[in-house]
Structure 1
Amino acid sequence: MGSAAVMVDMKDMDVCEEHGKAIQFYCEDHTKLCCSTCTFTHRKCDNVDEIKSISFKNEPEFQAIKHALIKMESEAASMIADCEKSRGELNESIANISDEGDKIKDSIVELFEEAQQKMFTEINQFKAEVSMQLDKKLTAVTKIKEQKNQILPMYSAILQHGTPEQKYIFCKKT
């Protein structure tokens, strides 16, 4: 026996962005979730269904989304590890370049002072650029992971306790 459906707070995912009303229909012709006002625009469409009547058909899609979210979490963790590894390799490379610079300085003091100043400027620019790229990538991956961490509990709640309409709406929105 299934448990009784419980309303889950979908944080306005179940509200029409255009009209601010509850989403109750789905237009297959335009792949659009619709409220009662939207259905006036779609009244000539061939495939407009009440979500309540079609939401039971999407169980495999719910599972696919769950697997995709889990995979996304794994990929995000891998990308974060790659970013951290790249940062360490960058710092190690810069340390090696600095050591080489000191060896050259011992051999050719006058030329080295000019070359060293230019080299460290370019290295710092390179480090700043690469660090900025890594920071952007890390920020993006972290944001995706945080979004996934916000969505996954809601998804689990919807999957376990949500109405078929909520499941259908969540599936289409994600």
Structure 2
Amino acid sequence: MTTAGACVPELGSLSEKEGAVLKDFQSLLRLNLSYIEPLSTVPAELLPHLFLGSRDDAVNAKVLQSLGITHVLNCAASTVRTGAAFYAPFGIEYSEFVAQDEQGYNIMQHYDLLANLANAVAEKKGRLFVHCEAGVNRSGSLCLAYHAATSGMTLLESAQHCKARRGRICTNPAFQLQVFGFARKHQLPL
């Protein structure tokens, strides 16, 4: 089950229940080319302090401001170039990193950055908007992992919730395995 070295976690032997959950998780998130699910037309509220969206949402600072967004996290800073100066007139703080939407990329290396920022924003009663290009794989996978870690829902319930809010999410098969491996490693309910 590993490709590209350490980018996809070695899952080892799965119990029957874990194998069934992984199969359901992958089936739920799989990209269906015969029907590509639409994405939310505005940033999707996954938690009261966590919103997920796309490049188009990121450049619409007035909409972000109207939603009460206080912070933006750009997961695709090499291609979506907004920056702190873009958001400053709206009173929105900005953070960024560069991630790739590729099978061999370790998206979970950015989880702590997202989780620490989301937790800090929640403590201040703020709202964090997280995005990449489409708001599906890079930002979507990290938001899904954070939702599973903080919501009290099982991983599968978190995936269903996030997908219902955003539309398609975490369709990159390698990212699916990374999120599943993260949940297992941290002993989150599957």
Using CA pairs under 8 Å that are at least 6 residues apart, name the structure with larger relative contact order, 1 or 2. Answer: 1
**Both structures adopt the same fold (TM-score exceeding 0.5):** no
TM, length-normalised to structure 2: 0.19
TM, length-normalised to structure 1: 0.20
Question: Which of the two has greater strand per residue?
Answer: 2
